[in-house]
Structure 1
Amino acid sequence: MLNDNLPKSETEYLKKRLSSSVKFQNSKGSGANLVYSQLPKSNNSGMDEFYSLEISPKQIQIKSYTKQGYFLAIQTLIQLIETHKNDKKIPTLKIEDQPKFSWRGMHLDVCRHFFTVEEVKQYIDYLAMYKLNTFHWHLTDDQGWRIEIKKYPKLTQIGSKRKESMIGAYVDNTFDGKPYGPYFYTQEQIKEVVKYAQDRHITVVPEIEMPGHALAALSAYPELACTKGPFEPATKWGVFDDVFCPKEETFKFLENVLDEVMGLFPSQYIHIGGDECPKTRWKECAHCQELIKKNNLKDEHGLQSYFIHRIEKYVNSKGRKIIGWDEILEGGLAPNAAVMSWTGIKGGVEAAKSGHFAVMTPGSYCYFDHYQGDPATEPNAFGGFTPLDKVYSYNPIPEELNAEQAKYILGVQANLWTEYILDFKQVQYMIFPRLMALSEVGWGTSDPKNYKEFEGRVINQFKVLDKMNVNYAKSIYNVSGKVIAANNGTAYELSTSQNPDGIRYTVDGTEPNANSQGYKNPISVSKSMTIKSAYFENGQLKSAVSSQQFMTSKTTGKKITLEQQPNENYSFGGAFTLVDGIIGNTRQLGKTWLGFQGKDVVATIDLGQKTQFSEVYFNTLENKGSWIHRAKSAQIFVSDDNKNFKMIKEIGKDEILNAKGKINLNVGNQNSKYIKLKIENAGVIPAGNPGADSKAWLFVDEIGVN
């Protein structure tokens, strides 16, 4: 029985979420057993999401200052009911709770691949279930314009479709040959989604990309570019040189677009992108160069700041604020702008220290288009490696900030880019169960020391997802492996979320079965081998088979130091990754690679004693669409004291390019204790390449000596 003063919309949501078999009946079988009391209005806006939930034998009582707090209490109540379903009753308890962060968000890219209104609503329901409160809707990009703008109908007539789409691994450069679209949301559909989210106390933040990622818009209105075109929505993924030209007609266009956008979305913040804007066209554009001189701007980065300032001033005049990716810091941050820090934590730190709000969404922890398990057993993904435990370990407050500066960290968000996500089932797979870890990070309850306890709760939640027919990743059931240093070499440490006694493995490359070697201690890797492992229960295979090939050399497991550290998005395993005996897969940017943007790799390996060798090898990548370029040069040095080094080999770019994959170098007969390898970054990406004028990425893996 429910009492009469329960908030109507939220209570209807509760009824729909609970099955008809759930009855609200107190121990005496009479009286209202779910009651709500609205607390006196608080002057502290930080209490909007506070609630108390008290369950006694007689009734369930919820108290909150707002309907939002009541809605969050409902989510807790539903979770309690689901957890104690078999008990047929929930325990007596009292909870007083509120989140640590005011921004707990999930992003969805609908430009690379489109999702229907009903699917977007399902996505919003997932956020509500786990108490997230912000939905970041990425609506425009190079590959598609997905929102109806009545003043500019060609945006959807032309910009919402593309002639084909890239498929498979990026390095394959293959396409499906199938027209994609037209796909977009009408303004009525946008209103429907916004209302649906409001009913679940979720704010929808729209993103309209500028000045870069604009090809779909320029295809419809080429006069807004620096060159005449013609343009077409991109069929490849990546970054493109043609961007909005900062001329008056462009600003008028964007202001008109934003007028319609702000009319549809009541959110305080409007996301204006601002990321990955190549300056190639601006450098070659007479208008842009004149604008730089006229406004005493330092360079094209200053022009980017000018662009963002103009847009912010207009958005502010409408009573709203802008938020953008951390590249909006280029040339100076607009006065009232907030920063979404994705390239790492640096952007958020810089914003907070200068008194600007920031949302932390670093790729190394919060990009859910990354692999979450062994890439060999996972669907094709963008790259990187962001497993459940890594998401759970994230602390959105950077250590560099003091208590006052930390107040500018609004919260945390995870992003789902959909280049490699073809349908909604794959969306579900990529966000679950990582969304659960994000939820606890945003609420402020995650504790890496208690990860195993959290993992158990995740597995219990799988029953709920099963009932909802959600396609979630089962990576935590799989056996995972970690290379560790051991006895002047390496060992392979296996783990599983299940009983470790169920792990079976082989070291000869054969498939494990129920009678294979049981795992007890880390497996010594003293020679080249392939270790395959899986989890068995009652003699039955319960996981995917994980496979790891090792190619050992005289550097395997040795002490290694780096003069410059890799980018945090591609730093899994740190320097040890370069001597762990695992050769990186050139088709997958998973956990076996270290990535350096604009930095050289200078690695020194201590062989432990003077060692004879005649060959040195290392592994690099080339994927220009993702700004990854081959090294410019490489030098090898040797030393016996780690102070005085002698160069024994140098190669240039042509030799590196000709090698294509692993680079094997004959260095003659050597006998040294230390070896230093310097691999020179390609530097600034030249014109004519994606990301021109930006710092190139250098990806490096195993450094071996034979």
Structure 2
Amino acid sequence: MHRLLLIFSVLFSSLFLAQTKLNLIPYPQKVEFQKGEFIIPKTFKLDENLPVKETAYFKKRTAGMFTFSSGKKNEDVHLVNALFTPQSVIDQQKKEKYSIEVSSGGIVINSNTNQGYFLALQTLIQLIEQYKDSGKIPAMKIEDEPKFAWRGMHLDVCRHFFTVDEVKQYIDYLAMYKLNTFHWHLSDDQGWRIEIKKYPKLTQIGSKRKESMIGAYVDNTFDGKPYGPYFYTQDQIKEVVKYAQERHITVVPEIEMPGHALAALSAYPELACTKGPFEPATKWGVFDDVFCPKEETFTFLENVLNEVMALFPSQYIHIGGDECPKTRWKECAHCQELIKKNNLKDEHGLQSYFIHRIEKYVNSKGRKIIGWDEILEGGLAPNAAVMSWTGIKGGVEAAKTGHFAVMTPGSYCYFDHYQGDPATEPNAFGGFTPLDKVYSYNPIPEELNAEQAKYILGVQANLWTEYILDFKQVQYMIFPRLLALSEVGWGTADPKNYKEFEWRVINEFKVLDKMGINYAKSIYNINGKVQPRVGGISYKLSTSQKPEGIRFTTDGSVPTENSQTYDVPIPVSKTMTIKSAYFEGGLQSAVSSQDFVISKTTGKPITLESQPDENYSFGGAFTLVDGIIGNQKQLGKTWLGFQGKDVVATIDFGQKTQFSEVYFNTLDNKGSWIHFAKSAQIFVSDNGTDFKLIKEIGREEILSAKGKIKVNVGIQNSKYIKVNIENAGIIPAGNPGADSKAWLFVDEIGVN
């Protein structure tokens, strides 16, 4: 048990009872206010027996606020009974358990581990930040422990590289908000970032590329500038791991296999199914050339993992396993012979064989593997854990079969997605994951019973860096969403009280400002949401500030303080542009702008036979009749995405309606496995049951229109319209993601 007692000689002021909400993130499990107050001293007197490293961290974080001195226990410290179970029989969460007692006599921290003590210090630092101006902290007792053992953040250093000092800053951010796992993505198609002494060409060749893709993927433009060589030496790796350990953060390294291997194959082409030559990828996306499952490949990977495991003491080693095209394996005589020899069903079975081989080796070294949910293909290795990113399905499947899982679904936990209106945000990968959505996530899937739920280790957010060029942009993408993630992982997030959490976030901005962190201010901007109303749609505006500060226009002009004040959702009955901004005290937020194109389907009831993927489902089916045409360069909240599924949408006009034109848009972004629709059929019906085909559109017509489909269907008069937009199906050889299910993106189905 560690105790921190802050003792000083001052006159105590009158006792008071503070019943205000504490500005703590993540919020503790239990807070009990008591009578009295702790006067913050100019000199803190610390128990001389406190853990040295953690206490040094506390002094560094509060440098400039106080001076410090130490006192002996028998002189200054009041004895406190141990609160918790002996360390030998506690699990990870109990190791992180702590309590803080604040009274007029001092502050006492109780924990059984240095880790618990360190987490308590994070809470104490936040209390001091909140109350330093008033000079007194209310008396209280905090009892706290996390709900989840794995509370992680990921950083991709392959697409863009970050220095050792920047990685340390990243780790500091995790520590501040009680995250305990740093997932370091060290190898991919675009770069190999870790020194492996046995294979020097990995960094000599694989750590650089001739240029980098810039701008939106569909532009297919490059900067023409050599990138790298960039990598971490083994001494630098040790330095980062030690730094993280001092902050009680586990570093989990990721070495990608069998896919995402181009940087490695560029250095050692003999490990591929074909002869090459190869070079580190300059584009983003997925590529056909992967590790070939032959003996020399396994020898190579085992040797690499030997050096990795010597550097990283983590229980888990991340082996990737995601997005591995089977094109080369299908064409490879060795792979086909291996499938026959081992009685494997197909290439998916070969992937399972590959993962089993690696797991057996890692287990022999006393470690465990964790991989993205594609490692479920062909059967999960016996002791493997799953990182569920494509949704929650992988985590559910793992937990139901007795395997541990970390939940990191893209729809909630991908911080490379937009967090505000894409029109006002820096270029991002796509998707729409604002602060309130992250905060709403529950890592325990509803499908699991209490026993199965025990296999959910926790939650993690991922930061892929295709579109993140420097560390300032890293800061922008993780803050303030990291704060929501921390509370989700701690287990105290309550979506019903999101506004209260938002208040705490805004208060925490003062700390981020002091640290010089470039956080996103999207929370201040106007958030617009389309909703149905009788006869059409309306546009609801909201902000984290007082709603009466919102001003808007409907004629496309820029709003001023004298523009119309927002009070109720704005009816949208014609094609128009609504612009809005927040004004207060002479300050103005960024201007939000939304174009509306009204058709006869706008706001009408719509049903889908298959639902969109949860990563690209913002607004659900209604997104297809909300009057908003999507930007083909931004896969934000205006698009619905379907992987391997057709879009079959039925719209009810409510009465027989005459029309002659139907339009919709689809996307082509092959690097992200997104393909134009294969075909489309348009049907009409008067009863919603019996439909008649009135138009069919082929692939050539869709390609020539570049996905912007507008067709004349003759004069029609019906109550229902059904539009069937056919997915491209399995991605053909020669394309990124070959042999995988294509994505189909659709934004709006309009009728005139």
Structure 2 length normalisation: TM-score? 0.92
- What runs of 5+ residues in structure 2 fail to find an aligned partner? 1-44
Deviations 1:461-499 (A, max 9, x none): 000000000000000000110000011200000000001
- What runs of 5+ residues in structure 1 fail to find an aligned partner? none
Give the one of 303, 328, 334 matched to 1:256.
Answer: 303
Q: Which residue of 2 aligns with 1:428?
A: 475
Give the one of 270, 273, 280 matched to 1:226.
Answer: 273
User: Which amino acid in structure 1 is aligned with residue 648 of structure 2?
Assistant: V
SS of the aligned residue for 2:137 comes to: coil
User: Which amino acid in structure 2 is aligned with residue 572 of structure 1?
Assistant: F
1:677 partnered with 2:745: no
SS of the aligned residue for 1:349 comes to: helix
Q: Does the aligned pair in 1 maintain the 2:608–2:650 contact within 8 Å?
A: yes
Q: Which residue of 1 aligns with 2:332?
A: 285
How much has 1:90 moved relative to structure 2? 1.4
Q: Which residue of 2 aligns with 1:311?
A: 358
SS of the aligned residue for 1:92 comes to: strand
Q: Which residue of 1 aligns with 2:497?
A: 450
User: Which amino acid in structure 1 is aligned with residue 65 of structure 2?
Assistant: S
1:327 partnered with 2:374: yes
How much has 1:290 moved relative to structure 2? 0.4
Q: Does the aligned pair in 2 maintain the 1:142–1:233 contact within 8 Å?
A: yes
Q: 2 CA distance for matches of 1:626 and 1:454? A: 35
User: Which amino acid in structure 1 is aligned with residue 59 of structure 2?
Assistant: K
Q: Does the aligned pair in 2 maintain the 1:598–1:681 contact within 8 Å?
A: yes
Q: Which residue of 2 aligns with 1:10?
A: 54
Give the one of 128, 152, 160 matched to 1:105.
Answer: 152
How much has 1:63 moved relative to structure 2? 0.6
Q: 1 CA distance for matches of 2:68 and 2:101? A: 14
SS of the aligned residue for 1:547 comes to: strand
Query: What pairs up with 1:122-521 in 2 under 5 angstroms?
Result: 122-521=169-568
Deviations 1:543-582 (A, max 9, x none): 1100000000000000000000000000000000000000
Q: Does the aligned pair in 1 maintain the 2:538–2:571 contact within 8 Å?
A: yes
Q: Does the aligned pair in 1 maintain the 2:46–2:69 contact within 8 Å?
A: no
Q: 2 CA distance for matches of 1:639 and 1:52? A: 66
Q: Which residue of 1 aligns with 2:33?
A: none
Q: 1 CA distance for matches of 2:654 and 2:553? A: 30
SS of the aligned residue for 1:86 comes to: coil
- Give the number of aligned pairs: 702
Q: Which residue of 2 aligns with 1:647?
A: 693
1:699 partnered with 2:750: no
Q: Does the aligned pair in 2 maintain the 1:3–1:34 contact within 8 Å?
A: no
Q: Which residue of 1 aligns with 2:115?
A: 68
1:546 partnered with 2:592: yes
Deviations 1:421-440 (A, max 9, x none): 00000000000000000000
CA separation of 1:60 and 1:31: change in aligned 2, threshold 3 A: farther
User: Which amino acid in structure 2 is aligned with residue 653 of structure 1?
Assistant: R
Q: Which residue of 1 aligns with 2:663?
A: 617
CA separation of 1:467 and 1:31: change in aligned 2, threshold 3 A: farther
User: Which amino acid in structure 2 is aligned with residue 574 of structure 1?
Assistant: G
Q: Does the aligned pair in 2 maintain the 1:2–1:33 contact within 8 Å?
A: no
How much has 1:34 moved relative to structure 2? 10
Deviations 1:216-243 (A, max 9, x none): 0000000000000000000000000000
Q: Does the aligned pair in 2 maintain the 1:133–1:203 contact within 8 Å?
A: yes
Q: Does the aligned pair in 2 maintain the 1:35–1:61 contact within 8 Å?
A: no
Q: Which residue of 2 aligns with 1:662?
A: 708
Q: Does the aligned pair in 2 maintain the 1:534–1:546 contact within 8 Å?
A: yes
Q: Does the aligned pair in 2 maintain the 1:240–1:690 contact within 8 Å?
A: yes
Q: Does the aligned pair in 2 maintain the 1:33–1:59 contact within 8 Å?
A: no
Q: 2 CA distance for matches of 1:347 and 1:216? A: 28
Q: 2 CA distance for matches of 1:686 and 1:637? A: 29
Give the one of 562, 569, 575 matched to 1:522.
Answer: 569
CA separation of 1:31 and 1:497: change in aligned 2, threshold 3 A: farther
SS of the aligned residue for 2:738 comes to: coil
Q: Which residue of 2 aligns with 1:598?
A: 644
Deviations 1:353-391 (A, max 9, x none): 000000000000000000000000000000000000000
Q: Which residue of 2 aligns with 1:562?
A: 608
User: Which amino acid in structure 1 is aligned with residue 513 of structure 2?
Assistant: D
CA separation of 1:609 and 1:24: change in aligned 2, threshold 3 A: farther
Q: Does the aligned pair in 2 maintain the 1:341–1:362 contact within 8 Å?
A: yes
CA-atom RMSD, angstroms?
A: 1.4
How much has 1:70 moved relative to structure 2? 0.4
Q: 2 CA distance for matches of 1:34 and 1:482? A: 56
SS of the aligned residue for 1:91 comes to: strand
Q: 1 CA distance for matches of 2:106 and 2:587? A: 46
Q: Does the aligned pair in 1 maintain the 2:702–2:708 contact within 8 Å?
A: no
Q: Does the aligned pair in 2 maintain the 1:2–1:32 contact within 8 Å?
A: no
User: Which amino acid in structure 1 is aligned with residue 57 of structure 2?
Assistant: Y
1:633 partnered with 2:679: yes
How much has 1:33 moved relative to structure 2? 7.5
Q: 1 CA distance for matches of 2:720 and 2:694? A: 12
Deviations 1:278-310 (A, max 9, x none): 000000000000000000000000000000000
Q: 1 CA distance for matches of 2:131 and 2:607? A: 51
Q: Does the aligned pair in 1 maintain the 2:154–2:183 contact within 8 Å?
A: yes
Structure 1 length normalisation: TM-score? 0.98
